[in-house]
Structure 1
Amino acid sequence: MRYSDAVHDHFDNPRNIGAIEHPDAAAEVSNPACGDIMHLTLRIVDARITEAKFKTMGCPAAIAAGSVTTELLIGRSVNEPIPLTRVEVNEALGGLSPQKVHTSVLAEDAVKAAVRDYHRRQGK
């Protein structure tokens, strides 16, 4: 499988790996077809994501998607309908092959689930 330079960079040097202690939002999503699992935790201040961390079990593209997702999320509002889309993740990774585009879907699903968790915690 041929990966872009961005996928290689985020796989070889993942950013924001781990979990935030006492996060303001958390989510774990999986893709039953391939077995990839992504755990995302967020720190949110004044409705803005100030910190994001991830843990992913999966292929290099899934790990790269988790890494780039955390970078793209920081500074965004949790009040946007979808703070980060699969298209943005795919583009930031230099375009994923059709066989690996599901990893950007996994990232978007994790973001949506974490934002839902945040709003639930806020009583919204």
Structure 2
Amino acid sequence: MAYSDKVVDHYENPRNVGSFAKDDPQVGTGMVGAPACGDVMKLQIRVNDQGVIEDARFKTYGCGSAIASSSLVTEWVKGKTLDQALEIRNSQIAEELALPPVKIHCSILAEDAIKAAVSDYQQRHGLTAAQVQRSAEAQTA
């Protein structure tokens, strides 16, 4: 199976590898995958007081497509509100990386990791998605 240049680039030069402190109140963590069968993705986002993701980190155990998908989404979520990050779809990730059909599950994991990290952040702050959106709109008004 041939990988696209973007997959190879993100695999050989992954962006934003690492993690934030678990006790940082500005961090949301999403862990998805199945350790028993292979790919596991941990995505962390750091959200500023305006509700914008200012940084992201990942640790992924899996194939090159899983690592590339994780690396790509850490770049994509930076500068986005939580709601904007939730709009990222696995189909966009798969298209950007030109993933073959047998690797689409890697893009699904990445989308699920974003959702899980945002959900964790919201739960830690007692926020609903609507409250986060109103807060972001108030800050920019």
TM over 0.5: yes
Count of residue correspondences: 123
Q: Match of 2:134?
A: none
**Match of residue 56, structure 1, among 35, 53, 60:** 60
Question: How many percent of aligned residue pairs carry the same amino acid?
Answer: 45
Greater C-alpha Rg:
2
Counterpart AA for 1:3: Y
**Match of residue 79, structure 1, among 80, 83, 86:** 83
- Whether the 8 Å CA contact 1:83–1:111 is kept in 2: the answer is no
Q: List gaps (5 residues or longer) in structure 2.
A: 128-141
With over 3 angstroms needed to count, the CA separation of the structure-2 counterparts of 1:8 and 1:38, relative to structure 1, is: same
1:80 Cα deviation from its structure 2 partner? 3.8
1:113 Cα deviation from its structure 2 partner? 0.5
With over 3 angstroms needed to count, the CA separation of the structure-2 counterparts of 1:4 and 1:34, relative to structure 1, is: farther
Give the secondary-structure state (helix, strand or coil) at the position aligned to 1:56: strand
The answer to whether the aligner puts 1:111 opposite 2:124 as a matched pair is no
With over 3 angstroms needed to count, the CA separation of the structure-2 counterparts of 1:116 and 1:103, relative to structure 1, is: same
- Please list the CA deviations of residues 50-85 of structure 1 after superposition, one character each: whole Å capped at 9, or x if unmatched: 000000000000000010010011011103482421
With over 3 angstroms needed to count, the CA separation of the structure-2 counterparts of 1:58 and 1:50, relative to structure 1, is: same
**Match of residue 67, structure 1, among 63, 67, 71:** 71
4+ residue runs over 4 A deviation = 31-34
RMSD of the alignment, in Å?
Answer: 1.6
When normalised by structure 1's length, the TM-score is 0.92
Counterpart AA for 1:54: F
1:4 Cα deviation from its structure 2 partner? 0.3
Give the secondary-structure state (helix, strand or coil) at the position aligned to 1:101: helix
- Deviation larger for 66-75 or 78-87: 78-87
In 1, the alpha carbon distance for the partners of 2:117 and 2:12 equals 25
